[in-house]
Each structure stands twice: as C-alpha cells, then as structure tokens.
Chain A
C-alpha cells in the first residue's frame, strides 16, 4: 500500500477566476498585502502498489479522469 499525492494545477496562461475571487475575499476579511492566489487541487489516494508502480497508476488516473490536458497539468508523488 502507498498513498500517492496527485496535484492538479492550471496550466500557465489559463486564467484562474477562483483564485482571483479568493484573493478578493481574503482582502475583505482584512488580510493586507495578498499577492497572487492560485487554486490547486490535491488528491491523496491510497493504492495497492508502491513506488514507480503507484506513480504510474496515479498518472493513469489523471489521464482517465482527474486532469483535462487542455487546461491542467498534473504531478504524482508517493507520500
């Protein structure tokens, strides 16, 4: 068993309205000096395999469901 962490990020150049709106909300709460806010999605997934095998299974998951290659990059690591 291993736990893989899958991190889904927007590709460079894809606008991030959720991040922009979150930044505004933080400012409304009184946080000053908030710079760019990016939204990132992270999945922790328990899988049977370990090491390389776990990573390639994670990558398969990204291709089949978790990431849309048009707008998103993904990174799989074993935790």
Chain B
C-alpha cells in the first residue's frame, strides 16, 4: 500500500511536533516535520517541500512565534501569505487537516474553522480567547464524541462515548460575534467534541477548563475533513500517560490512538 504522508507543519515556538509525528507513526503513517520555511520557493536545496506532496496536514501545539500578537496569529498570517491558495485547495480536495491546541488556534486564525461561509474566510470569524480562569490550565479533560458521522477523525470513537484527552492551554474559549454561532455549528454538525464531567453530565469548571460556550472542545468544518481541538490526543497514545492510569487497569492502548487510526481509515 502507498505510504500516507503527513506534513507536521511548524515554525519557531511550535513545540508538540515530536509527539504529533510519533502519534502518526504509531498508526503506520509516514510523518515529516516540516518548517514553514521549507515551503518557500527559495528554500535551501534539498529542503524545499510543497503541500501537494502530502496526504494529511497537521498543526501541532506549542506557542508558534511566541503567541505574540495573538495565539496562532503570526503563523496563520505567514501561511496565508505564503501558500493561502494551496492550503485552500488542499482542504477543498478533501484531504484531512488536524489542529491541536495552538494548531486549533491557527486554524481559526486562518479562517479554516469554523468556515460557516466557505472553505476559508478572509479574516477570522471566531477566536480562541483567554480562559475564564485567566490562567494556563494543564489538566485532564473528558470529552464526549458529539460528531454525527461527518468528521474524518472520529469514526473509531463510538458516538456519544467518552474519551480522556488532556488539556494544556491559556486560550481555549471559543468565541464568535455571531450570537447564533453555537446553533449554527450544531445545525451543521460541526461540533465534534464537548467537555463533560467524568460521568458524562454537562461540564463545570475545571472539567470545562476554559469556559467555552456549550462546552465546545473541538469543531470540524462543514465538510468534516478539518478538525481543530484544544485537548491533546497525541499525549495519550498509551495508557501510561493518563494521569490516573495506576487506578484503572486496562489495555495498554490510550484513547488518543482512535483519532489517528480514524483518519488513516478514512484514506483507505
């Protein structure tokens, strides 16, 4: 079978690219960590890359460009000016795009999410804003899969079942100036993950660590091939990185595997 090539795109300050690449390797993909500079026309010999070479695009977490200006804004602006049209056609061709944490912030700043009016908006139509607590929050979060069959990344996760992906961010509250925003996402089937309490009931802080409306943790575009989420599936590829694994015997596999296996299955 043909290799599934993954572009794990980074710039200065991206810092979760190793575990993101490892996660794709674990499900049999061939990830490559690519610096945005390598996408430039005048990239050093042998290092130049172009987006069309890849089957999947992933934006890992971190603090791209220091999160100066706004989380993800500089990375997004540079991508837009360098390869906006290529990115747009990558998405429109149906290839999967994943953004985790800072990656989600980048997708929103790029206008690829929520994408209520077309693939990629000129300016951002949403924001991932400072957590209600005003603090960086590194803690376990339980998510419910609320996808209704659209999103490429969750086919392996039974509908309405719960997974534990940890969160670690200071800006994860999804905001829009459209008051009807949540309903629109709901109607479009774009809400993929919601924070819940461990018993599955509506999340309260700290189970919703940022105050996101309707407990939204992750959304996809209307086509279902672009997923952005604040929590980190790549951090729980085995059970041994779950914070409570010593309390709960179980299989060695971690919840995060399902995200990566789902997207691989979608390409077969």
Contacts and interface: CB of A to CB of B under 8 A. Distances in A.
Contacts of A20: 134
B81 to A, nearest CB: 8
Contacts of B123: 63, 68-69
A44 interface: no
Given A64-B77, A65-B74, A65-B77, A70 B134 contact: no
B102 interface: no
Contacts of A56: none
Interface stretch (A10-18, A28-36, A47-55): A10-18
Interface string B12-50: 000000000000000000000000000000000000000
A64 B69 CA distance: 12
B73 A17 contact: no
B134 A17 contact: yes
A40 interface: no
Contacts of B130: 15, 17-18
A70 B125 contact: yes
A71 interface: yes
Size class of B's contact patch? 20 to 34
A20 B70 CA distance: 19
B77 A17 contact: no
Nearest to A63: B123
Contacts, number: 43
Interface in B67-108: 69-70, 73-74, 77, 80
A70 to B, nearest CB: 4
Contacts of A70: 124-127, 175-177
Interface residues of A, number: 15
Interface in B120-148: 123-127, 129-135
Contacts of A69: 123-124, 177
A20 B80 CA distance: 34
B133 A17 contact: yes
A61 B198 CA distance: 44
Contacts of B177: 11, 69-70
A14, A66, A71: residue with the most chain B Cβ atoms closer than 10 Å: A71
Given A17-B135, A63-B123, A64-B77, 20 more contacts: A11-B177, A17-B131, A18-B134, A21-B134, A64-B80, A65-B69, A65-B74, A66-B69, A66-B73, A68-B109, A68-B127, A69-B123, A69-B177, A70-B125, A70-B126, A70-B127, A70-B175, A70-B176, A71-B127, A71-B129
28 contacts: A11-B177, A14-B129, A14-B175, A15-B130, A15-B132, A17-B130, A17-B131, A17-B133, A17-B135, A18-B130, A20-B134, A64-B77, A64-B80, A65-B69, A65-B73, A66-B69, A66-B73, A68-B70, A68-B73, A68-B123, A69-B123, A70-B124, A70-B125, A70-B126, A70-B127, A70-B175, A70-B177, A71-B129
